[in-house]
Amino acid sequence: MNLLEVSDLKVYYHTTKGVVKAVDGVNFIVEEGTSVGLAGESGCGKTTLGLSFLKLLPENGMIEGGSLIFEGDDIYSLDEKDFRVNVRWNQISMIFQGAMNALNPVFKVEDQIAEAIKLHSTKTKKSERLATARDLLKRVDIDPTMGRHYPHEFSGGMRQRAMIAMALACDPQLVIADEPTTALDVIVQKQLMDLLRRLKAEMNLSMVVISHDISVLAELCDYLNIMYAGRIVEWGGIEGVFENPRHHYTHGLISTFPTVEDKERKSTFEFIPGAPPNLLDPPLGCRFHPRCPAATEICRQEPTPELREISEKHYVACHHPRGDLH
């Protein structure tokens, strides 16, 4: 069963220069108990998509169309208060890039975790909430007594762990992790990925992991969505997408990462020519066509190609998909 089902979502930013179509007709599915990756370059709309699940968009960001079905309910039709009390953190929580400034600097860490519990189960006692907060810290391998300290007394990795502990405070069904390991060194990244994998298995969590680093997603996810210029251009099982990318953008994105296993590719880096399009005025036709090696006349014309199933559970939005390697 699908836990989360997003259909034809459109999120636009209204700026003084015009309308930025950050998310423009996205379909997105999370099956229960799976973790789904969302990858793409900076500015492709992946963070906007993540924030729109919780309706956390900046003031000028508007959800212009589409629906979000969570556990069979259309949660976009809930009123503000219902959404805030029942959906946010209780059903869907979010791991922000906690190494930076995601924790409030003037409150103790355990109080910030306890606050999340208080907001969604008001009948608990303060002592119970703090005890739960400390348990959660223990669960992410932080000494529970550290909860009495402030975020600035934590290292970057610890802050990220505390952020994860906070995200689990209300037993959510879905956790969205936006760049959970960015800005941390590789050792800490590895520890955090192990932690997320362990928690996912222990708590049967469903997750959406957003990152520009597809190697992180390869470690954590069952499915992978590739986003380009506000649209999903390819999605499928992680192995299928990685080993057999059908969209030229996906292929380019994967090729930009060095590998230690493939001896032939070891010495060369490929790159995608050009720059991501301006979302104020995206190119007509397939949005990738100005940078695509396989572009033809049909790619330059409207309409933009839709996702189609190219093999089982592997979808691609391309007129000339790359050949099947199998």
**Per rule CB under 8 A, is residue 257 in the interface with another protein?**
no
Q: Which of 119, 146, 193, 295 binds another protein (CB under 8 A)?
A: 119
Nearer to another protein, 81 or 326 (CB): 81
**Per rule CB under 8 A, is residue 269 in the interface with another protein?**
no
Nearer to another protein, 114 or 199 (CB): 114
Q: Is 214 helix (H, G, I), strand (E, B) or coil?
A: helix
Q: How far is the CB of 170 from another protein (least distance, A)?
A: 9
**Per rule CB under 8 A, is residue 96 in the interface with another protein?**
yes
Nearer to another protein, 99 or 226 (CB): 99
Q: Which of 104, 145, 155, 301 binds another protein (CB under 8 A)?
A: 104
Give the chain's end-to-end CA distance (angstroms, integer).
29
Question: Mask 67-86, x = binds another protein (CB under 8 A)?
Answer: -----------------xx-
Helix axes 109-120, 156-167, angle to 10 degrees: 10
User: Residue 272 contacts by C-beta under 8 Å, 6 or more apart in sequence?
Assistant: 249, 252, 253, 256, 291
Q: Which amino acid is at 290?
A: P
Q: Is 267 helix (H, G, I), strand (E, B) or coil?
A: coil
Phi/psi at 207 (5° precision): -135, 150
Tell me which residue has tokens 């992978």: 224
Nearer to another protein, 60 or 256 (CB): 60
**Per rule CB under 8 A, is residue 263 in the interface with another protein?**
no
**Per rule CB under 8 A, is residue 107 in the interface with another protein?**
yes
* Separation CA 193–CA 238 (nearest Å): 16
Binding positions for another protein, 136-195, rule CB under 8 A? 150, 152, 163, 166
By C-alpha distance, which of 303, 286, 164 is closest to 234?
286
Nearer to another protein, 159 or 200 (CB): 159
Q: How far is the CB of 90 from another protein (least distance, A)?
A: 7
Taken in order 130, 157, 224, 39, is the CA torsion positive or negative?
positive
Tell me which residue has tokens 């910030």: 112
**Per rule CB under 8 A, is residue 88 in the interface with another protein?**
yes
Q: How far is the CB of 11 from another protein (least distance, A)?
A: 15
Neighbours of 36 (CB within 10 A): 26
Nearer to another protein, 104 or 296 (CB): 104
* Separation CA 236–CA 36 (nearest Å): 10
**Per rule CB under 8 A, is residue 93 in the interface with another protein?**
yes
Q: Where are the beta strands (DSSP E) in 73-170?
A: 73-74, 92-95
The count of C-alpha atoms lying within 13 angstroms of the C-alpha of 29, restricted to the half-sphere facing its C-beta, is: 12
Q: Which of 8, 65, 77, 101 binds another protein (CB under 8 A)?
A: 101
Q: Kindly determine how many residues on this chain lie close enough to bind another protein according to the rule CB under 8 A.
A: 28
**Per rule CB under 8 A, is residue 259 in the interface with another protein?**
no
Beta bridge partners of 231: 228
Residues in touch with another protein (CB under 8 A): 51, 54, 56, 84-85, 88-90, 93-94, 96-97, 100-107, 115-116, 119-120, 150, 152, 163, 166
